[in-house]
């Protein structure tokens, strides 16, 4: 049932659990955000920490790394933008009145969601809030953005989608579609009977997929607000989603990941063998990587569902993972970033995608080992 994976490096510089891990678009750097209130930048060339980002007054909930700037959000109600070369804080975005859960940088704008029941969009350079999206009755958890040019043939194109559409998911059991230009709520997506924990967008298809504590995934037309289909096979909360090549991959508290046909909702296969909830997942070159509350990461053949490798070494839940070249990066609540050799796994070139990808201790030195070439 799959062999064990070998760790190339263990980086335990953080003094608290790592809540999120982001890979830069150019693949040169990683960004981790931690319970210790700091974020760190890491080089993918050698796995070493190249900058410590300090300034938040509480734990870092989420982070996003761009090629020239890093973005972090925190329980201190702020968002920060950082220079990736110097580690200097360039901007502080203030306005939320509770924990900031998620941020998203897209179309030269910064979007955020918060426990204060709002989502907001900010001017990247000036640090000023451009628009507030208010209407959810509880915490806003997850968000995704569709630019106007990603909505071809939208019947309501024009003013309604001129600034794109923002989709938010909330613990109030709804998702909402917002017109970014006006701040108006375009649609409320009602149907879930539990909190909406995750969502992914197929912008060209005008479709949002939402995962909930009610154990279902639902597909919605974001223009009309119509519920298109319900995916009902999970036996626990749907924690994470990814959309790849017309397939939806989901991770659940029922200890499984599943694969579905996006266009029909048909359940294709189940990825079992987890000892706890599937907290994060990532498809890469024919392999589905999962991270679990059992402190292990796993590699499955995405086509057959066969378990190929188990990566053991973390002490607590794996909150996030990334893959770059021949290296798997896992970030855990134990405070460690681990790098794993994934050479030898079958690699399949991905067909062209028309849909957008989804859009989360004591100080010890890093145990170094040569990294395999990308």
| pLDDT tens for each residue of 288-332 | 999 999 999 999 999 999 999 999 999 999 999 999 999 999 999
Asked if the model's pLDDT at residue 283 lies above 70, the reply is yes
What is the SS3 assignment for 82-93?
Answer: EECCCCCEEEEE
Tokens of 179: 């017109």
Confidence of residue 368 (pLDDT cuts 50, 70, 90): very low
Query: Would you call 337 helix, strand, or coil by DSSP?
Result: strand
Query: Would you call 151 helix, strand, or coil by DSSP?
Result: coil
Asked if the model's pLDDT at residue 354 lies above 50, the reply is no
- Spatial neighbors of 344 by CB under 8 A, at least 6 apart, are none
Confidence of residue 2 (pLDDT cuts 50, 70, 90): low
Asked if the model's pLDDT at residue 371 lies above 70, the reply is no
For residues 120 and 136, is the Cβ–Cβ distance under 8 A?
A: no
Terminal Cα-to-Cα distance of the chain (whole angstroms): 27
Question: Which H helix or E strand runs over 284?
Answer: strand 278-284
Q: Would strands 18-23 and 175-179 be described as parallel, antiparallel, or unpaired?
A: unpaired
Asked if the model's pLDDT at residue 267 lies above 70, the reply is yes
pLDDT in tens, 41-88: 999 999 999 999 999 999 999 999 999 999 999 999 999 999 999 999
pLDDT at res. 367: 35
pTM assigned to the model: 0.91
> What CA–CA distance (Å, rounded) separates 336 from 34?
10
Asked if the model's pLDDT at residue 374 lies above 60, the reply is no
> What CA–CA distance (Å, rounded) separates 269 from 288?
12
Average pLDDT over residues 277-288: 97
> What CA–CA distance (Å, rounded) separates 160 from 162?
6
Alpha-carbon 181 to chain mean position: 25
Q: Measure the CA dihedral 314/199/282/214, to 10°.
A: 60
- Percent of the chain clearing pLDDT 90 (strictly above): 84
CA distances from 155 to 145, 151, 221, 266 (A): 18, 9, 12, 28
pLDDT in tens, 130-157: 999 999 999 999 999 999 988 766 555 5
Alpha-carbon 314 to chain mean position: 20
């Amino acid at each position: 049932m799959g062999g064990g994976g070998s760790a190339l490096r263990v980086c335990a510089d953080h003094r608290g659990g790592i809540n999120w891990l982001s890979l830069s678009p150019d693949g040169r750097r990683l960004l981790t955000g931690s319970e210790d209130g700091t974020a760190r930048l890491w080089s993918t060339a050698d796995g070493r920490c190249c900058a410590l980002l300090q300034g938040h007054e509480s734990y870092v909930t989420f982070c996003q790394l761009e090629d020239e700037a890093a973005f972090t959000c925190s329980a201190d109600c702020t968002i920060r933008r950082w220079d990736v070369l110097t580690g200097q804080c360039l901007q502080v975005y203030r306005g939320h009145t509770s924990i900031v859960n998620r941020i998203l940088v897209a179309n030269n704008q910064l979007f955020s969601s918060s426990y204060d029941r709002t989502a907001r969009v900010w001017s990247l350079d000036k640090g000023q809030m451009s628009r507030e999206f208010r209407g959810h009755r509880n915490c806003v958890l997850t968000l995704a953005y569709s630019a106007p040019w990603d909505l071809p043939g939208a019947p309501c194109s024009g003013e309604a989608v001129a600034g794109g559409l923002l989709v938010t998911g909330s613990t109030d059991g709804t998702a909402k579609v917002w017109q970014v230009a006006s701040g108006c709520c375009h649609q409320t997506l009602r149907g879930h009977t539990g909190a909406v924990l995750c969502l992914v967008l197929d912008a060209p298809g005008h479709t949002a997929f939402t995962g909930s504590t009610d154990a279902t995934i639902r597909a919605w037309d974001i223009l009309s607000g119509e519920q298109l289909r319900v995916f009902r096979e999970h036996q626990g909360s749907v924690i994470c989603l990814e959309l790849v090549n017309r397939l939806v991959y989901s991770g659940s508290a029922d200890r499984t990941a599943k694969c579905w046909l996006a266009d029909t909702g048909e359940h294709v296969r189940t990825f079992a063998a987890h000892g706890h909830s599937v907290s994060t997942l990532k498809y890469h070159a024919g392999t589905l990587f999962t991270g679990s509350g059992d402190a292990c990461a796993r590699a499955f053949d995405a086509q057959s569902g066969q378990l190929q490798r188990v990566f053991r070494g973390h002490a607590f839940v794996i909150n996030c993972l990334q893959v770059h070249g021949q290296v798997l990066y896992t970030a855990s609540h134990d405070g460690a970033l681990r790098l794993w050799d994934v050479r030898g796994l079958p690699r399949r070139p991905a067909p062209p995608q028309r849909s957008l990808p989804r859009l989360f201790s004591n100080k010890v030195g890093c145990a170094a080992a040569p990294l395999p070439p990308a």
